[in-house]
Amino acid sequence: MKNKIFFLLSVFSSYATAAQFPDEAVVPAGKYYVGTVFGHHDYAAHANITLNAFRIMRTEVTFRLYSDVYEWALKHGYAFGVGCNGAAYEDCLPAGTDNGAHPVTSIEWSDAVVFANALSEKAGLKPVYVNKKGVPARNSSFYEFIKDARADGYRLPTTEEWQVAARGGKAGLENISYGFRFAGSDNAKTVAWFPDFNEPHFGTARVKSLRPNALGLYDMSGNVSEWVDAFNTFSGVKMYYFCGGSFLLHTGSLAGCDTHSAGYALPDTGFRLVRKF
């Protein structure tokens, strides 16, 4: 076990010097349509939600970035899952594959939340997720979090924010791509990593492997599904949503989301983060 921990920390250290904070796009404030209707329609005239402006990561959080923050977080009182450098079928890819450029996978919903706090603190921002005493959440084994509305740090997007960003926001409305079934195209093969199940190297792809949408966001469809900050309660258990489809779960549109409990890690699910603009 000690050798394994030493190996992981060595891998993290090798990434730390090269890793950078993620590039972001801005979704302007405004009224937008969110729902299951796609195709050529006047979405601006049928807006059903109002959003404040926010920044969103252009790619899913990579294992490289996750590793960099994880190493820093361990030294600052954080505890959350190690994660994987993407996946081959349901197994982790080696940590060094493609220099850690696959989306991080096999992380629980609560790991994503605590990672967001760690990234915020590392970047000098105020963490969003706190416990009942108002203390920033630093341990992903606890699943009850409260959002500090005054904080300027990173957080998971709401389902509405995620879908508007995936559709392309104002830019998508302007170039008439807002109604595409996938993030940037009606042709999944150009924007969504949905590999054939009999491919010899079936699994995740490096981020930015395919075309972005109108906002310059990659992999909002396909590659890995993305945790969002939304849940439903079934039989007393909170079930959190993940959206966008993945190499394992080929969805038919951006409206396709699924749920799982906060304490379950999936080999084809990762996340990207947002923050105030």
Going from N- to C-terminal start, the domains of the chain cover 2-276
pLDDT of residue 10: 43
pLDDT of residue 17: 38
Q: What is the Cα–Cα distance from 103 to 207, expressed in whole angstroms?
A: 7
Q: What is the Cα–Cα distance from 151 to 158, expressed in whole angstroms?
A: 16
Q: What is the Cα–Cα distance from 163 to 64, expressed in whole angstroms?
A: 26
pLDDT of residue 147: 96
Chain Cα centroid distance, residue 243: 9
Which pTM does this prediction carry?
Answer: 0.91
Q: 45 is written with which tokens?
A: 């005239």
Q: What is the Cα–Cα distance from 213 to 217, expressed in whole angstroms?
A: 5
Q: What stretches in the chain show pLDDT beneath 70?
A: 1-21
As a whole number of angstroms, the longest Cα–Cα distance in the chain is: 60
Q: What is the Cα–Cα distance from 269 to 108, expressed in whole angstroms?
A: 9
Q: What is the Cα–Cα distance from 15 to 83, expressed in whole angstroms?
A: 14
Q: Which CATH code for domain 2-276?
A: 3.90.1580.10
pLDDT of residue 15: 40
Q: 192 is written with which tokens?
A: 């969504």
pLDDT of residue 247: 97
3-state secondary structure of 100: helix
pLDDT of residue 236: 87
